[in-house]
Amino acid sequence: MTTVKTIHTIPTGRTPMPEQAPQVRATNFEEVALGYTLPEALREADRCLECKKPRCIAGCPVGIDIPGFIRAIAQQDMRRAYEILRQDNPLPGVCGRVCPQESQCEVRCIVGIKAEPVCIGRLERFAADYAMAHFEAETPSMAPAGKKAAIIGSGPAGIACAADLARAGVDVTIFEALHMAGGVLKYGIPEFRLPKSIVDREIALLKQMGVTIELNTVIGKLFTIPQLMQEKGFDAVFVGTGAGFPKFQGIPGENLNGVFSANEFLTRVNLMRGFRHPEYDTPVGMGRQVAVIGAGNTAMDCARCALRMGAEAVTVVYRRTQKESPARAEELHHAMQEGIQFQWLTNPVQILGNADGWVSGMECIRMALGEPDASGRRAPVEQPGTNFVIPVDTVIYALGTRANPIIAKSTPGLKTNQWGYIELDEQTGMTSLPGVFAGGDIVTGSATVILALGAGRRAATGMLQYLGLRPAEASAEARAAKTGA
């Protein structure tokens, strides 16, 4: 380091992200945030104080060497910036875009105390995109370790686990139920927030590392876990099947025509490319006045997809306030800019239908936040006599998901908890079955991409140990780099 930076010498404001104008982007599926240019990235990188005891790292679930990669950007050594990121995060281009930075790394940034925190996520995205555009990916060829591992599910947890195992020379096969790899990154999060080409490149990298991907393979149906281990010769298995089983509320009218789960709506639009119907065959079946129930990332994605699909009005209904909304701040902000309407402190009581069985409205009731409960959260309570009807013809449920039962049903002895999520041994990270590991949403319930990645990596460590193998050397180097070598 040559210059001594302090909070007083750096620009206080964050470098703004170039974006498509709200009126324009509300009619297309192209990416909203365009990404920093090199000068913008350099300006933002310059705002990092490169702290000796960086607080930000503790906020990142995978412990990325944040000052390290930002310093490399500042020095215009993009290859190194990317390498530092990849050491801890196999999907920097994804996480830079979709991590809830404001509650993870950026909330801890020291600059944030007096000014606006450093845009860590935007810089991470910049480094990843730069690498994608300029460098050939390097994939180390590993000496085979003579062990085979099966990964079930190609979401972030499975991808991360596969990458670490492949790096250690394990012969890895990913089994994916759908006709496309990537999990929620592909079928859930829409194109305008996470272009599919970004995910595809990461998956291509995995293949270059020697990972085999078998699509169209529903484990528990085509093969069971016991078959994988006994007949197919896999020495260890990782279950990363996500929590993709939609929840409904149990109010009258939920099976009327025009009521969708978020997963159905998003799958029709994203996975099946319904936004290009009839060129693509799968219809979406959306009306003109859309209500979305819930206010998380999934709800924002549904609302904004509906808008782009040509809805005249889209209303998000949530029983708490904006403050409690679990969505990324940026997504809420973008949704508001695009003209999505919000009914906070509002809960649906029933969905109304017309004589033909189609949705004609949604009856709601106003809520108020009551006394804090045991967990310290203020529970919403109904305000009697405040019922009103929102005239809509489409209702989308974005109330979260549960565990899919297929794996648990077909795997005798696999312990799950009362909600169907897989239980792990805290010491070994293993499930109740020897050699079977798990991680991501199928263990924790719906969480975040980076938490799933972290879980996949932890499981890989446990699997290597179980297989009697050592983790790849790369991570030893990473440790050295991190301790300031």
Q: Which is nearer to other proteins, 36 or 223 (CB)?
A: 223
Q: Which is nearer to ligand SF4, 296 or 380 (CB)?
A: 296
Segments in 309-391 forming alpha helices (H): 329-337
Q: Which is nearer to ligand FAD, 71 or 328 (CB)?
A: 328
Q: Which is nearer to ligand FAD, 245 or 344 (CB)?
A: 245
Minimum distance of other proteins from residue 255's CB (angstroms): 6
Contacts with ligand SF4, residue ranges (CB under 6 A):
48-51, 54-56, 60, 62, 64, 66-67, 89, 95-96, 99, 101, 104-105, 109-111, 118, 120-121, 124, 450
CA-to-CA separations, 477 to 81, 393, 473, 480, 485, in angstroms, rounded: 15, 57, 7, 5, 10
Q: Alpha-carbon distance 230 to 435, whole Å?
A: 12
Q: What, of ligand FAD, ligand SF4, other proteins, none, does residue 50 touch, CB below 5 to 8 Å by kind?
A: ligand SF4
464 scored as a contact of ligand FAD (CB under 6 A): no
SS3 150: strand
Starting at the edge strand found earlier in the chain, the sheet holding 236-239 runs: 212-214, 171-175, 148-152, 236-239, 436-438
Minimum distance of ligand SF4 from residue 91's CB (angstroms): 8
Binders of ligand FAD among residues 179 to 198 (CB under 6 A) are: 183-184, 188-189
Minimum distance of ligand SF4 from residue 234's CB (angstroms): 30
Segments in 220-286 forming alpha helices (H): 225-230, 262-266
Q: What, of ligand FAD, other proteins, ligand SF4, none, does residue 105 touch, CB below 5 to 8 Å by kind?
A: ligand SF4
Minimum distance of ligand FAD from residue 240's CB (angstroms): 5
List the one residue from 35, 59, 96, 242 that touches ligand FAD (CB under 6 A).
242
List the one residue from 167, 328, 366, 458 that touches ligand FAD (CB under 6 A).
328
438 scored as a contact of ligand FAD (CB under 6 A): no
Q: Alpha-carbon distance 407 to 218, whole Å?
A: 9
Q: What, of ligand FAD, ligand SF4, other proteins, none, does residue 98 touch, CB below 5 to 8 Å by kind?
A: ligand FAD
Main-chain phi, psi angles of 41, to 5 degrees: -65, -40
- Contacts (Cβ under 8 Å, ≥6 apart) of 334: 22, 32, 300, 304
Q: What, of other proteins, ligand FAD, ligand SF4, none, does residue 121 touch, CB below 5 to 8 Å by kind?
A: ligand SF4
Q: Alpha-carbon distance 30 to 304, whole Å?
A: 12
The crossing angle, in degrees rounded to 10, of helices 38-45 and 120-134 is 140
In the structure encoding, which two tokens stand for residue 94, read together? 């994804």
Minimum distance of ligand SF4 from residue 235's CB (angstroms): 30
Q: Alpha-carbon distance 337 to 342, whole Å?
A: 12
Under 8 Å between Cβ of 265 and 396: yes
Under 8 Å between Cβ of 263 and 397: no
237 scored as a contact of ligand FAD (CB under 6 A): no
In the structure encoding, which two tokens stand for residue 266, read together? 């998003």
Contacts with other proteins, residue ranges (CB under 8 A):
177-179, 187, 214-216, 218, 221-223, 244-246, 248, 250, 254-255, 257-258, 260-261, 263-264, 267-268, 271-273, 277-285, 356-357, 404-406
Number of residues that bind ligand FAD (CB under 6 A): 41
369 scored as a contact of ligand FAD (CB under 6 A): no
Q: Which is nearer to other proteins, 215 or 379 (CB)?
A: 215
Q: Alpha-carbon distance 51 to 72, whole Å?
A: 14
414 Cα distance to chain centroid: 26
List the one residue from 404, 411, 416, 431 that touches ligand FAD (CB under 6 A).
404
DSSP 459: H
In the structure encoding, which two tokens stand for residue 214, read together? 């078998």
How many C-beta atoms surround the C-beta of residue 77 within 10 A? 14
Chain residues binding ligand FAD by CB under 6 A are: 98-99, 152-158, 175-178, 183-184, 188-189, 218-220, 240-242, 244, 266, 297-298, 301, 328, 404, 406-407, 440-442, 446-450, 452
